[in-house]
Amino acid sequence: MIIGKLDKVIEIRQKTTSKDLSGEDVDNYDTVFATVFAHWKPRRGTEGFEAGQLVAVGVGELEIRRLPGIDETMKVVMDDVWYDILNVMDIGREGHSLEVKKKDNEG
- Report the alpha-carbon distance of residue 5 to residue 36 in Å, rounded: 13
Q: Which of 2, 84, 79, 7 is nearest to 39 (CA)?
A: 7
96 or 60: which leads in pLDDT: 60
Give the percent of the chain with pLDDT over 90: 36
In whole angstroms, what separates CA 47 from the centre of its chain? 19
Name the pTM for this structure: 0.76
